[in-house]
Amino acid sequence: MDADVFVAWFEEAARLVHQDRDRLTRLDAEIGDADHGTNLDRGLTEVCKALTGAPPASPAQVLSTAGTTLIRKVGGASGPLYGSVFRQMGKQMSKAAETQGTQGTQEARVPVTLAAFAAAFEEGVVAVERLGKAALGDKTMVDALAPASRALALAVRDGVDVSEALGQAARAAAEGAKATIPMQARKGRASYLGERSVGHEDPGAASAALIMAALATVAG
């Protein structure tokens, strides 16, 4: 997966989130601030502008630009949380490239392997868990991201090709998002509702599933 694939990922994610903006906002209205769809739609639009205005040369740079833009442009919790995921992924990829001696101009020409992507994604999930102080089962975006990360790790272990691996990750994220419906929120604004948070899909998990679906589409 080269830089063009990662740019296409954010373009497709922006399209899917824009298309599903009202549903995401409606989910957030049920247990949150009613702004998740609107905020993330605006943030991903800004990410696409940033990537078009100054096209990054490497996957790591794409991710770092996306993460920084989301942190700067998106209000609420979703900007810092998603921004942390992508910035940490970019850092991990840069670190891996430095270790392998492919940093710099050569790094831009070296596609990211599935194993390297899975390792970076795992680090991104750890970053969001740390920032949000959330774990699997807390009814947050982690409930979609962590299963996706686990699916990628298993795919690498089993030697699955990129297309199928990312499809498995997207399906795991979608299942994880749906699994938040019967959960009682333990983190975020939804946690203030107590038992009233049960029966609603977490909007962050729902948007994470869309973002993973976007990657599966462009890299499939």
* pLDDT tens-place string over residues 159-169: 999 999 999 99
pLDDT of residue 82 exceeding 60:
yes
pLDDT value at residue 105: 47
pLDDT value at residue 108: 52
User: What would the mean pLDDT of 5-16 be, rounded to a whole number?
Assistant: 97
User: What would the mean pLDDT of 73-98 be, rounded to a whole number?
Assistant: 90
Neighbouring C-beta atoms of residue 20, cutoff 10 Å? 19
User: What would the mean pLDDT of 66-94 be, rounded to a whole number?
Assistant: 93
pLDDT value at residue 74: 87
Domains of the chain, earliest start first: 3-219 (1.25.40.340)
Of the two residues 55 and 12, the one the predictor is more confident about is 12
Asked if 70 contacts 79 with a C-beta cutoff of 8 angstroms, the reply is: yes
**Tens of pLDDT, residues 114-148:** 999 999 999 999 999 999 999 999 999 999 999 99
Calpha distance 24→88 (Å, rounded): 25
**In terms of Cα–Cα distance, which of 135, 219, 120, 216 is closest to 169?**
216
**Tens of pLDDT, residues 96-120:** 877 665 555 445 556 899 999 999 9
Calpha distance 108→17 (Å, rounded): 28
Helices (H), 20-161: 21-31, 36-53, 59-73, 78-100, 105-109, 114-132, 142-158
Calpha distance 141→209 (Å, rounded): 9
**Average pLDDT of the chain?**
93
Q: Model-level pTM?
A: 0.93
